[in-house]
Structure 1
């Protein structure tokens, strides 16, 4: 007899009066905190000004929240939100799309490069995507604690029965599948940066990131439940859902960036291991 996991986690970690701290929000906060520390370490390694960090964090936080929300609204449930526009602002009720967050972050990082760092966009992309891979894995663990975004029925021994949603059959814990892929990608990108000096090949880390995030996402979608009803027609017509279709351009961009990076000469950089502000002081 197979021993499935009967999952009934409380999405709320604890409450203080009317204020509740949810696992999902905690995973988000932990990801951004660790991500900030990692990017700061890379900035110091390359001698970038410390004052850029706060500005970059502001760009990323706003882009992630606004982009993920609008991505869900426009990509998945525009029919509903177009009739109930006030509901768009109720982000605490759920409804975030990683593809929307990715697009918004791309725009934000280009703006940061043009307006703040005055460096090639690859310089900041090849750092921030390392942190984003970690944040993505933690967010999927938050989805697990919310008992959401899981897969279809399975008889595999690691199937989860999501009791909170009234499920009686084990399902693929696709949140864990994605989280493991993203954590593995995070480890690979860290190794590339710190052990192989991959930052000397502009866009290489970013290209690997796009492939490592969106190829697993594309494949895992085959065992994931449909998120909105409108996707059934899309699957019947094209053999894939919206999440998969949105992933294809990013996979192709990743392949192009990797090829471009590997066919260009390596740029030899100096690494002062101190912030530029400290150097001036």
Structure 2
């Protein structure tokens, strides 16, 4: 059987003192999409987008710091304990999405303390942008031949030549398409709402759907470092469970009669 061969150079463009990688370009596009969407939301609901720049910097800081710390603490702690300066070498890779989400949740809480709305208001709007960012980031992982899927002989298997000659599940695209569908579903709920007070419903659906998807698709990934080799689930799946449970609680609370 002939499989799709993927062998894209991870460098998008190279200049004398600068190399632009596909992943970096896609990550920048994700930040830009977040900015434009929240700019639209602010103008639509608050009649001003003056504070969106501050929001963007809070989200960038929370996402990067949270994602890096989660990778260090849960995926390869022994290496970073022996090489602590490597913790700061984020250009070498190593960002965990669970930590990124947690970092953004904290940074948005700090941000909204000086804003004219409550925590749930900003979380519900940011959830839509966050799901779309997940779509773009996983697309970047595919372009970069990262997050390898397990070996398979399905007709749509992909051979990532930069890794090996084994046909694998294009699990990055599975996630990307799932996150795009989730972002469209959240946008539908947002536009359908007749009130500005969504009471955390979009945040709840974001946590449930994103991390349930992540939990299921982990079975099709060549896992990173498991917390324990005897476990039947990966570190990524274990870390997904608290987010799913939190989402279920928030959904129950949002629909609970006052």
TM-score (norm 2): 0.95
Tell me, yes or no, if the aligned pair for 2:121 and 2:197 is still in contact at 8 Å: no
Find the counterpart in structure 2 of residue 135 from structure 1.
133
Is the radius of gyration larger for structure 1 or structure 2?
Answer: 1
Find the counterpart in structure 2 of residue 97 from structure 1.
96
Residues 48/86 of structure 1: CA separation in 2 closer, same or farther (3 Å cut): farther
TM-score (norm 1): 0.88
CA RMSD of aligned residues (A): 1.5
Tell me, yes or no, if the aligned pair for 1:198 and 1:205 is still in contact at 8 Å: no
| Aligned mates of 1:48, 1:126 — CA distance in 2 | 18
Tell me, yes or no, if the aligned pair for 1:44 and 1:50 is still in contact at 8 Å: yes
Unaligned runs of 5+ in 1: 266-281
Unaligned runs of 5+ in 2: none
| Aligned mates of 1:257, 1:87 — CA distance in 2 | 37
44-53 vs 25-34, which moves further: 44-53
| Aligned mates of 2:12, 2:220 — CA distance in 1 | 29
**Corresponding position: 1:247 with 2:240:** yes
| Aligned mates of 2:228, 2:154 — CA distance in 1 | 28
Find the counterpart in structure 1 of residue 150 from structure 2.
152
SS in 1 for 2:162: helix
Find the counterpart in structure 1 of residue 115 from structure 2.
117
Higher relative contact order (CA 8 A, sep 6+): 1
**Corresponding position: 1:234 with 2:228:** yes
Find the counterpart in structure 2 of residue 259 from structure 1.
252
| Aligned mates of 2:23, 2:68 — CA distance in 1 | 15
Aligned length: 258
Find the counterpart in structure 2 of residue 54 from structure 1.
53
Deviations 1:190-249 (A, max 9, x none): 111113347433100000000111000000001100213xx1x7252x321110000001
* Equivalences for residues 1-281 of structure 1 within 5 A: 2-47=1-46, 49-114=48-113, 116-165=114-163, 167-197=164-194, 199-228=196-225, 231=226, 234-236=228-230, 238-264=231-257
